[in-house]
Structure 1
Amino acid sequence: MKKQQGLIHNKIEIVDDRNDVVWAMDVDYKLTAFNSSFKALVEKLGFDNIVSGIDLKEIYASGRFFNPCDRGCQRALDRYATTSKHTFESNGSVVVHEFSFQPFMNSSGEVVGCCIWQKDISQEVDNNHRILESERKYREAQEVANVGHWSWDMKEDKIIWSNQLFRIFEKAPDKFEATFEALLNAIHPDDRDLYKNDVELSIAENRMHDIIHRIVLADGKIRYVHQKGRAYYDEHGKPFRMSGTTQDVTKDILSNQQIMEQNHELQNFVRIISHNLRGPISNVLMLSRIYEWGKDEMNDDIVKKIEHTTEALDQTIKDLHLSLSLKSADKEKFREVYLKDVMKDIDGLLADEISKYKATINTDFTKVDLVFGAKSYVVNIFYNLILNAINYAKEDVPAIISIKTEETVDAISIKFTDNGIGMELTPEKERKIFDMYGRLSGATEGKGFGLYLVKTQVEAMDGKIEVESEKGLGSTFTITFPNTTKT
């Protein structure tokens, strides 16, 4: 018996330098061994003279900390090793402790006592809660975005899917075995080769796998998914795993298709209406030209109003045709457009206005001297922005227009800055001045169609236009294009 107790005591001494509370007792609940943490805890509860042989029953009944011990020790003495977790409040904080009860037996197999090991697992529990909470939020985010993640073990040809991915493909996790071949079978037959080639190229070239394709559900319905992923390689450069995400983009694709169909129908409608109106408009304009003016003042006034209205309608139809033609630009015909050549055309087109209003145009194309697009578009953009700067100059102050290019890794920009009257610019006004027939102000003549054409032509070349302005100080129009020279 003494040999057994000595063995227990030695084992407890091994963990004496830890914060865990460890002690042992015999079948009569007499303390047989303990570490310093046990002694400090019991003394804190008001017990003195902690030595082997004291009765533990009174200590077990003294506080919440020892509440689990009665049942745990009894089960250990009945030969059942048990572990339990208990929650306490300590110094205003909630802590979780784990109690382990292990029976000790002699050489005859008779239980002679038990050892109790308690440790604070609050941090571990908190970490587990954080992980579970993160996983819950991640699952919710996948469900809201309708995106799932996957990981493909290439050697074993096994693909691990998230729950959301099973929902996207409408597959039962307990019935569907995700492999590359099974995935191919779920892809629309017309998209399989394209998908397979993209996967193979992304692995061979170590680049991002990025493709939108169709999948066929069990009931025959079609869905569109956007799949992105990347391969991972071992120390020998051989691919062994690939992981990524798959998002259901069916609604976006179908919405875009519907918008394209509606735009196509609208374009056809405009073409049909304008074609049907051109004949009557031409006839009305012809009649106004053969009308005998001067015989009746009232009739002259009526015919003049009819003529002006008809001409305005005719110009509106021409503007619509021009707008439609810009939106359907053939990008295959885009070429490098040198800005110095554009300025040569502008000098000719605006020679009279520049001379009449004594305007000055300063250019700096040292950072970027060309753009990729249609020269006629670029000329029209320069023409309208420069003409606007001249038209909106301050009274008796000649317009000074600065045109400067800048470049970043992803984009190039052209800034048109003037010293004109400027304007109080709000987001609504910024949007409105680029609308068809939007106006910067009512102080000058013109329909306000120029900036709409500028915006349309800029966007046709995959660019965007923005404006900054301050009343009395002038305006700056900034055009930004993708930097194709860096790709």
Structure 2
Amino acid sequence: MKRKQTLIHNKVEIVEDRDDAVWAMDLNYRLTAFNPSFKIRLKCEGWDKADRGMDLRAVYRSGSFFKPCEQGCERAFDRFATTSKHTFEQKGEVVVHEFSFQPFMNSSGKVIGCCIWQKDITQEVDNNHRLLESERKYREAQEVANIGHWGWDMKDDKIVWSNQLFRIFEQDPGKFKATFEALSEIIHPDDRQAFIDDVQTSIEENKMHDITHRIVLGNGEIRYVHQKGRAYYDEHGKPKYMSGTTQDVTKAVLSNHQIVQQNQELQNFVRIISHNLRGPISNLLMLSKIYEWGKDEINDDIVKKIEHTTEALDQTIKDLHLSLSLKSADKKKFREVCLKDVMKDVNGLLTEEVTKQKASIRTDFSQTDTVFGAKSYVVNIFYNLILNAIHYAKDGVPAIINISTYQTKETVILKFADNGIGMELTPEKERKIFDMYGRLSGATEGKGFGLYLVKTQVEAMEGKIEVESEKEVGSTFTITLPNKV
């Protein structure tokens, strides 16, 4: 027995200075060896001291800390080395300890005892939990953004995809072997060479790989993806690895295509309207030229108003196509626009509406009476916002529209405030009323085209438009333009 205890004791001596608790016992659960950490732990559990030869069964059954030990030792006696994790509360905190049970055998292979190694792995478990949580959130973020990451080992031509990439490309992770050639085959034939060239340029010139292209899925569906990545090089400057991201941007690309198509349709619409109105406008202007002035004061006044309105409409039609070609607007032709001149044109266009609805338009241009931009844009903005206020007036209450200007060092602010029906405004409604064919309500006629034009023309002059509204109180449109003075 003494020889057996000496053998076990010698094995334990190698961990004398460790913080982990290590101890050994014989087949009768008698303590044969231990390190200082075990002695400290035993005292913490209410035992006065650790003595060789003490029966550990009472220790194992007395407290929560040593709870896994009796079963673990029994397994070791049956020649099975085992490890178990034990979670318990210590000083108000949850801790995790790992217990390893190793059978001791003599030279003939007979089990003579067991060595137990205990260590606190709480920090390690916490780190693993944080890592797993971080990975979970990263996977969720990829899924929400529909974006995945990839890495390409150029030497072995192996590409590692994240799970989201397999979903984007609709490939089976167990069947699809990602290589550069296999990836190229998925890319739309018309985009394939551009993709290969972009990758090659990125590698050769150490530039960012950045390209949007189409892919063709197994069922023939076409998707658009945005690829970004960068190459990495060895100590000799040779490319060895490339990594990056791929995002499904199909919805965004198709939406942009739709916008382009709408703009083209809009321009065609303007051309048709301009052509169809050109004849009647020319005839009205010609009639005003051959009219015999001075014979009837009332008729003179009527024809004068017709002439003024027709001239303003003619100028609006001439400028409308240019107003809608916002992307190609020549900002070099922008100039200071006098707001009083703008109001003269607008009053001519809205004379009938203002008179019929008994509307009042009040202007205060005392702080600044000019803005920088295209006059046709500004006239259209004033026209649509004033007309909008008239159309959305309260029943039986004449519309009052207050137009005022404010100036800062960097901006010019225009405010159009009315006393109309107003609305319960949400961020979604605020966005919608500026959309093409968006409308404030279905109570009035019209297609809601005017506010779309206002927004696009304000943005063409590098400005922004915002709206505040309260039901039964009214609405205020605020336009902020750069101060070019």
Normalising by structure 1, we get a TM-score of 0.71
Equivalent residue, structure 1, for 2:213: 213
Structure 1 residue 124 and structure 2 residue 77: aligned?
no
Q: Is the 8 A contact 2:267 2:325 kept in 1?
A: no
Superposed displacement of residue 423, structure 1: 4.2
Matching residue of 1:287: 287
Task: Note the 1:334-373 alignment, pairs <5 A.
Answer: none
Aligned counterpart, 1:168: 168
* CA distances 1:301-346 after superposition (whole Å, capped 9, x unpaired): 33222222222211211221332355335xxxxxxxxxxxxxxxxx
TM superposition shift of 1:62:
1.0
The match for 2:13 is: 13
SS in 2 for 1:102: strand
1:179 aligns with 2:179: yes
1:381 counterpart = 2:334: yes
- Alpha-carbon deviations, 1:355-394, whole Å to 9, x = none? xxxxxxxxxxxxxxxxxxx6xx43x335459999xx9676
Shift of 1:23: 0.7
Q: How many angstroms does 1:429 deviate by? A: 5.0
Alignment partner, residue 109 of structure 2: 109
Kept in 1: contact 2:412–2:483 (CA 8 A): no
Question: Are the structure 2 counterparts of residues 452 and 150 from structure 1 closer, same or farther at C-alpha, using a change threshold of 3 Å?
Answer: closer
- Kindly indicate whether the alpha-carbon contact (under 8 Å) linking 2:409 and 2:483 is maintained by their aligned counterparts in 1: no
Cα distance change, pair 453–218 in 1 and its aligned pair in 2 (3 A)? closer
Aligned counterpart, 1:250: 250
1:477 corresponds in structure 2 to: 482
2:195 aligned with 1:195: yes
Q: How does 1:130-149 map to 2 (within 5 A)?
A: 130-149=130-149
How far residue 79 of structure 1 moved from its aligned partner, in angstroms, is: 0.8
Give the structure 2 partner of residue 263 of structure 1: 263
**Residues 326, 57 of structure 1: alpha-carbon distance in 2 compared, 3 angstrom cutoff:** closer
Q: Is the CA contact (8 Å cut-off) linking 1:466 and 1:477 kept in structure 2?
A: no
Corresponding position: 1:157 with 2:169: no
Equivalents in 1 of 2:463, 2:259: separation in Å?
23
Offset at 1:235?
Answer: 0.2
TM-score, scaled to structure 2: 0.72
Tell me, yes or no, if the aligned pair for 1:151 and 1:242 is still in contact at 8 Å: yes
Change (3 A) 1:89 1:167: same
Give 1:234's aligned amino acid. Answer: D
Q: Which runs of 5+ in 2 are unaligned?
A: 342-363, 371-404, 418-433, 435-453, 466-479
Query: How many Å apart are 1:7 and its aligned residue?
Result: 3.1
Structure 1 unaligned segments of length 5 or more: list them. Answer: 330-373, 400-420, 436-450, 459-463, 468-474, 480-487
Identity %: 67
Contact 1:323 1:456 (8 Å CA) reproduced: no
Distance of aligned partners of 1:83 and 1:132 in 2 relative to their CA distance in 1, 3 Å threshold: same
1:85 maps to 85
- Displacement after TM superposition at 1:293 (Å): 2.5
CA 1:386–1:275 in 2, change beyond 3 Å: closer, same or farther? closer
Alignment root-mean-square deviation, CA: 3.3
The 8 Å contact of residues 327 and 456 in structure 1, kept in 2 or not, is answered as no
Provide the secondary structure at the position in 2 that maps to 1:61: helix
- Change in Cα spacing, 1:431 to 1:207, as seen in structure 2 (3 Å) is farther
Cα offset, 1:5, TM superposition: 2.5
| Corresponding position of 2:75 | 75
2:26 and 2:32 in contact (8 A); partners too: yes
Counterparts of 2:195 and 2:168, CA distance in 1: 18
Q: Any conservation in 2 of the 1:83–1:100 contact (CA below 8 Å)?
A: yes
Other-structure match for 1:241:
241
Aligned mates of 2:47, 2:321 — CA distance in 1: 98
Partner Cα distance (2:8, 2:300) in 1? 122
Moved more, 206-215 or 287-296: 287-296
8 Å Cα contact 1:9-1:33 kept in structure 2: yes
Query: 1:472 matched to which residue of 2?
Result: none
Q: State the shift of 1:108 in Å.
A: 1.8
Q: Is the 8 Å Cα contact of residues 224 and 248 (structure 2) preserved in structure 1? A: yes
Distance 1:226 1:431, change over 3 A: farther
Instruction: Give 1:118's aligned amino acid.
Output: Q
Contact 2:188/2:215, CA 8 A, preserved across alignment:
yes
- Separation of aligned partners in 2, 1:454 and 1:382: 15
Could you say which residue in structure 1 is the equivalent of 2:424?
Answer: none
Q: Are the equivalent residues in 2 in contact too, given 1:232–1:242 (CA < 8 A)?
A: yes
User: Structure 1 residues 477 and 103 mapped into 2: Cα distance closer, same or farther (>3 Å)?
Assistant: same
Letter in 1 for 2:482: F
Aligned to 1:361: none
Instruction: Give me the whole-angstrom Cα distance separating, in 1, the residues matched to 2:412 and 2:28.
Output: 86
8 Å Cα contact 2:105-2:111 kept in structure 1 = yes
In 1, are the aligned partners of 2:233 and 2:239 still within 8 Å (CA)? yes
Alignment correspondent of 1:446: none
Separation in 1, partners of 2:241, 2:415: 48
Give the drift of 1:42. Answer: 1.1
Deviations 1:278-312 (A, max 9, x none): 11011011112212223333333332222222222
The answer as to whether partners of 1:466 and 1:478 remain within 8 angstroms in 2 is no
TM-superposed CA distance for 1:428, in Å, is 12
Q: Verify the 8 A CA contact 1:81 1:102 in the aligned structure 2.
A: yes
Q: Distance in 2 between matches of 1:40 and 1:152?
A: 53
| Matched letter for residue 40 of structure 1 | I
What are the equivalent positions in structure 2 for 1:40-51 lying under 5 Å apart?
Answer: 40-51=40-51
Is the Cα contact below 8 Å between 2:25 and 2:31 reproduced in 1? yes
Alpha-carbon contact 1:208-1:228 (below 8 Å) kept: yes
Deviations 1:144-179 (A, max 9, x none): 110000000001100000000000000000010000
CA distance in 2 between counterparts of 1:124 and 1:431 reads 61
Number of residue pairs matched by the alignment:
380
Q: Summarize the Cα distance change of 1:89–1:431 in structure 2 as closer, same or farther, 3 Å threshold.
A: farther
Instruction: Write the distance in 1 (CA, Å) between the matches of 2:301 and 2:283.
Output: 19
For residues 392-451 of structure 1, what are the alpha-carbon distances to aligned partners after superposition, in whole Å with 9 as ceiling and x for unaligned?
A: 6769xxx9xxxxxxxxxxxxxxxxxxxxx8448999956989x9xxxxxxxxxxxxxxx9
- Alpha-carbon separation, structure 2, partners of 1:83 and 1:430: 75
Instruction: Decide whether the 8 Å contact of 1:159 with 1:178 is kept in 2.
Output: yes
Q: Which segment drifts farther, 12-21 or 234-243?
A: 12-21
